[in-house]
Protein backbone atom coordinates (compact mmCIF):
# COMPACT_ATOMS: atom_id res chain seq x y z
CA UNK A 1 0.00 0.00 0.00
CA UNK A 2 1.03 3.59 -0.63
CA UNK A 3 2.19 5.49 2.44
CA UNK A 4 1.61 9.22 2.95
CA UNK A 5 4.26 11.13 4.91
CA UNK A 6 3.74 14.70 6.09
CA UNK A 7 6.37 17.15 7.26
CA UNK A 8 6.86 18.80 9.56
CA UNK A 9 4.75 17.09 12.21
CA UNK A 10 4.32 20.44 13.91
CA UNK A 11 5.26 24.05 13.36
CA UNK A 12 4.96 27.38 15.09
CA UNK A 13 4.80 30.57 13.07
CA UNK A 14 3.88 34.21 13.54
CA UNK A 15 0.69 35.83 12.35
CA UNK A 16 1.20 36.93 8.78
CA UNK A 17 3.88 34.34 8.02
CA UNK A 18 3.79 32.15 4.94
CA UNK A 19 3.48 28.52 6.01
CA UNK A 20 4.19 25.45 3.88
CA UNK A 21 3.29 21.86 4.71
CA UNK A 22 4.62 18.97 2.66
CA UNK A 23 3.03 15.62 1.89
CA UNK A 24 4.93 12.85 0.12
CA UNK A 25 3.45 9.67 -1.34
CA UNK A 26 5.56 6.52 -1.45
CA UNK A 27 4.38 5.96 -5.05
CA UNK A 28 2.91 8.26 -7.66
CA UNK A 29 -0.75 9.18 -7.19
CA UNK A 30 -1.11 11.71 -10.03
CA UNK A 31 -3.14 14.58 -8.55
CA UNK A 32 -5.48 12.46 -6.38
CA UNK A 33 -4.58 14.35 -3.24
CA UNK A 34 -6.79 16.22 -0.77
CA UNK A 35 -6.03 18.43 2.22
CA UNK A 36 -8.18 18.74 5.35
CA UNK A 37 -8.14 21.10 8.31
CA UNK A 38 -9.21 19.92 11.75
CA UNK A 39 -9.54 22.59 14.42
CA UNK A 40 -9.43 21.52 18.07
CA UNK A 41 -12.55 19.56 19.00
CA UNK A 42 -14.04 19.97 15.54
CA UNK A 43 -14.84 17.83 12.51
CA UNK A 44 -12.31 17.71 9.65
CA UNK A 45 -13.01 20.18 6.85
CA UNK A 46 -12.04 19.77 3.20
CA UNK A 47 -9.71 22.54 2.00
CA UNK A 48 -8.22 21.34 -1.28
CA UNK A 49 -8.90 18.45 -3.67
CA UNK A 50 -7.26 17.33 -6.89
CA UNK A 51 -4.02 18.65 -5.38
CA UNK A 52 -4.75 22.27 -6.19
CA UNK A 53 -8.51 22.87 -6.44
CA UNK A 54 -9.81 25.03 -3.61
CA UNK A 55 -13.05 23.78 -2.07
CA UNK A 56 -15.92 26.24 -2.28
CA UNK A 57 -16.00 28.66 0.62
CA UNK A 58 -12.40 28.09 1.68
CA UNK A 59 -10.22 31.16 2.18
CA UNK A 60 -7.93 32.05 -0.72
CA UNK A 61 -5.07 32.14 1.83
CA UNK A 62 -4.92 28.39 1.28
CA UNK A 63 -3.41 26.89 -1.83
CA UNK A 64 -2.25 23.45 -2.88
CA UNK A 65 0.26 22.27 -5.45
CA UNK A 66 2.08 19.18 -6.64
CA UNK A 67 1.62 16.03 -8.62
CA UNK A 68 2.97 12.51 -8.60
CA UNK A 69 4.63 12.02 -5.21
CA UNK A 70 5.27 15.49 -3.79
CA UNK A 71 2.59 17.92 -2.68
CA UNK A 72 2.39 21.12 -0.65
CA UNK A 73 -0.26 23.06 1.20
CA UNK A 74 0.55 26.74 1.63
CA UNK A 75 -1.06 29.28 3.91
CA UNK A 76 -0.06 32.62 2.40
CA UNK A 77 -0.55 34.70 5.56
CA UNK A 78 -1.12 32.75 8.76
CA UNK A 79 -4.08 33.90 10.85
CA UNK A 80 -5.08 32.94 14.42
CA UNK A 81 -8.09 31.03 13.10
CA UNK A 82 -5.75 28.77 11.11
CA UNK A 83 -4.55 27.02 14.28
CA UNK A 84 -5.38 23.40 13.50
CA UNK A 85 -4.03 20.04 12.43
CA UNK A 86 -3.76 19.63 8.68
CA UNK A 87 -4.00 16.23 6.98
CA UNK A 88 -3.30 15.14 3.44
CA UNK A 89 -5.13 12.15 1.95
CA UNK A 90 -4.67 10.15 -1.21
CA UNK A 91 -7.71 8.97 -3.12
CA UNK A 92 -6.36 7.39 -6.28
CA UNK A 93 -7.46 3.98 -5.03
CA UNK A 94 -8.28 2.18 -1.80
CA UNK A 95 -6.97 2.30 0.86
CA UNK A 96 -7.66 6.04 1.12
CA UNK A 97 -4.67 6.76 3.34
CA UNK A 98 -4.20 9.93 5.37
CA UNK A 99 -0.89 11.48 6.27
CA UNK A 100 0.04 11.68 9.94
CA UNK A 101 -0.95 15.32 10.27
CA UNK A 102 0.81 18.65 10.80
CA UNK A 103 -0.06 20.71 13.85
CA UNK A 104 0.08 24.44 13.17
CA UNK A 105 0.38 26.85 16.08
CA UNK A 106 0.88 30.57 16.49
CA UNK A 107 4.23 31.74 17.84
Touching other proteins, residues 47-86 (CB under 8 A): 49, 55, 85
Least distance CB 2 / other proteins (angstroms): 12
User: Which lies closer to other proteins via its Cβ, residue 38 or residue 74?
Assistant: 38
Per-residue x/- marks for other proteins, 15-34, CB under 8 A?
-------------------x
Neighbours of 86 (CB within 10 A): 25
Could you tell me which residues come within 8 angstroms of residue 51 by beta carbon, excluding any fewer than 6 positions away? 31, 32, 33, 64, 65, 66, 67, 71
Q: Using CB under 8 A, pick the residue from 20, 61, 74, 98 that binds other proteins.
A: 98
User: Which lies closer to other proteins via its Cβ, residue 15 or residue 96?
Assistant: 96
d(CA 99, CA 77): 23
Full strand arrangement of the beta sheet holding 53-54:
10-13, 102-106, 84-90, 33-38, 45-49, 53-54
Q: Which residues bind other proteins (CB under 8 A)?
A: 1, 34, 36, 38, 43-46, 49, 55, 85, 87, 89, 91-101
Amino acid sequence: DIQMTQSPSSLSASVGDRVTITCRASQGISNYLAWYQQKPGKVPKLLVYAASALQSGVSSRFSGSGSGTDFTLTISSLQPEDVAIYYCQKYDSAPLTFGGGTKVEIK
